[in-house]
Amino acid sequence: MLNRVLSIISKGGLKGITHITGAGLTNNVPHVFPQGLRAHMYNNSWSVLPVFKWIQKDGNIEDAEMKRTFNMGIGMVLVAGEKAAQRKEIKKLNLVIRSSLRKRMKKKKG
């Protein structure tokens, strides 16, 4: 897998890479984007391994907690522009999470 990722990096078009650690998808992915932007990940746009479906069902765990605690089995996220995301070697990974960028909403005080 490392050689594939290095090959993708060498061809350009990546906007960022993040290793998904204990903080999960919800807390690691935002670090890749400039202040004021966030990713909106479309649910069901990637295949969840059966073991994670089992954990979620058997443990009665909500989607948000699964993304935060178990990363849904995802260990690394490569952020690619639209053109790069269409390249054969990226699509071939079959691990694409469809998402879009959105403005980050400021939290209201009070």
Output the domain CATH number for residue 88: 3.90.650.10
Domain that holds residue 68: 2-102
Look at residue 107 and tell me if it is in a domain.
Answer: no
Q: What are the E-state strand segments in the chain? A: 14-19, 37-41, 76-80, 99-103
Count how many domains the chain has.
1
pLDDT of residue 60: 96
User: pTM for the full model?
Assistant: 0.69
3: nearest Cα among 87, 66, 93: 93
What's the average model confidence in pLDDT over 53-71?
91
Mean pLDDT of the chain: 79
